[in-house]
Amino acid sequence: MTERQTGTKDVTYNLISVAYHALQGAETNSIYLQDAEKRGDTEIADFFRSVIDEDRRRADRAKELLKQRMR
Mean of the per-residue pLDDT values for the chain?
91
**SS3 label, residue 34:** helix
Residue 42 scores a pLDDT above 80: yes
Domains in the chain: boundaries: 10-70
Q: What is the pLDDT of residue 10?
A: 85
Give the pLDDT mean for 42-67: 98
